[in-house]
Amino acid sequence: MARTQLNSNPRTTTYTTSADFCRIFKEDMKDLHLLALLLTADPAKAEQVFVSGLDDCATGNGVFKEWAGSWARRSIIRNAVRLVAPQPRDTNRAQAAAGDPAWPVLPAEVSALFELQSFERFAFVMSVLEGYSDQDCALLLGCTRQTLIAARVRALQQVVRSRELRGRSQTTAATLHPNNSIIELALPKRLATPA
């Protein structure tokens, strides 16, 4: 625990420890692993990202306790970016798609995300599901804001197309939020219309 002095008023600031991060990763294991899986679209890579994220948090510099949960999620994202290295308009799609017998039965919304190219999937998960700003997403992905926005639009359009193929509404797209709840996204009409 460190003491800081601001305007002559003593204040106690508490930093996270390795034990704090281990507790966070244990308590939020499902959510953090789901985030890794949504980003990588590969169970083995998701496990690797999860373990690397825990290791980075436990051995890295401490952050304020209030930021520990978001720092753990950011660590998962950074490790997924490092492992997958998504590039704009890359050609590597998830090899183990929803039809693979090794996969459990997945909600249609998750299957639609796994069908996306990796860069579009990262743009969608980071900005739409995780709520990162365009600037933060662009910095983490090493691209321009315009490239990120274009990738997110393509991802939203693909999710809508997937839903249309399954007989769903043209103006909404459902996605799986990391807390395991389905959220409906209302899309502007121009985004809901396939290009």
What is the pLDDT, as a whole number, of residue 107? 67
What is the pLDDT, as a whole number, of residue 179? 43
Continuous segment of H or E residues that includes residue 180: none
Same-domain check for residues 188 and 145: yes
Examine the fold and report which residue of 68, 84, 100 is the final residue of a domain before the chain moves on: 84
What is the pLDDT, as a whole number, of residue 192? 39
Same-domain check for residues 121 and 174: yes
Same-domain check for residues 97 and 183: yes
pLDDT in tens, 54-113: 999 988 877 888 888 999 999 999 999 999 999 987 544 444 444 454 555 566 667 888
Same-domain check for residues 100 and 189: yes
The CA distance from 123 to 153, in Å, is 9
User: In angstroms, what CA-CA distances link 51 with 8, 10, 45, 58, 167?
Assistant: 42, 38, 10, 11, 38
Same-domain check for residues 69 and 95: no
Q: What domain range includes position 125?
A: 87-195
Task: Count how many residues are written for the chain.
Answer: 195
What is the pLDDT, as a whole number, of residue 8? 56
Q: For the residues of 82-103, what is the DSSP string, one character each? A: HHH---TT---B-SS-TT-TTS
Same-domain check for residues 100 and 134: yes
Torsion of CA 27, 31, 32, 37, to 10 degrees: 150
pLDDT in tens, 33-54: 999 999 999 999 999 999 999 9
Examine the fold and report which residue of 38, 54, 84 is the final residue of a domain before the chain moves on: 84
Continuous segment of H or E residues that includes residue 57: helix 43-59
**Cβ(38)–Cβ(122) below 8 Å:** no
pLDDT in tens, 139-179: 999 999 999 999 999 999 998 888 777 764 434 444 444 44
Same-domain check for residues 98 and 146: yes
Report, as an integer, the average pLDDT of 120-136: 95
The CA distance from 79 to 53, in Å, is 6
Same-domain check for residues 31 and 67: yes
Same-domain check for residues 113 and 192: yes
Band of the pLDDT at 5, cuts 50, 70, 90?
A: low
pLDDT in tens, 170-186: 344 444 444 444 444 44
**Cβ(9)–Cβ(156) below 8 Å:** no
CATH of the domain at 141: 1.10.10.10
Examine the fold and report which residue of 18, 53, 84 is the final residue of a domain before the chain moves on: 84
What is the pLDDT, as a whole number, of residue 90? 54
Band of the pLDDT at 18, cuts 50, 70, 90?
A: confident
